[in-house]
Amino acid sequence: MDKELLAMLVCPLCKGKLKYDREAQELLCHYDGLAYPVRDGIPVMLPEEARQLEIDEKLPPSPGRNGEG
Ligand SMILES: [Zn+2]
């Protein structure tokens, strides 16, 4: 997807920046916990089309864990 297009996109709910998941072809809003689909390179910015992120998807990626709890 176009980088310039991506830079213009914001979440329709919170107006926050979105994270583009290239593999999943989704735009993620961690604030709302939603993933907007990208269909044929066209982002679908509709909350009713978005899927809910799983709990562990909402968490920011950790830099690495030491040890095993
Ligand atoms: Zn949002």
pLDDT band at 4 (very low <50, low <70, confident <90, very high): confident
DSSP letters spanning 33-59 = TEEEEEETTEE---TTT-EEPPHHHHS
User: From ligand 1's centre to the CA of 63, what distance in Å?
Assistant: 24
User: From ligand 1's centre to the CA of 69, what distance in Å?
Assistant: 32
For residue 62, give the 3-state DSSP assignment: coil
Q: Which residues pair with 43 in a beta bridge?
A: 38
- Confirm if 52 and 29 have CB atoms less than 8 A apart: no
12-56 per-position pLDDT tens digit: 999 999 999 999 999 999 999 999 999 998 999 999 999 999 877
CA separation for the pair 9, 43 (Å, rounded)? 9
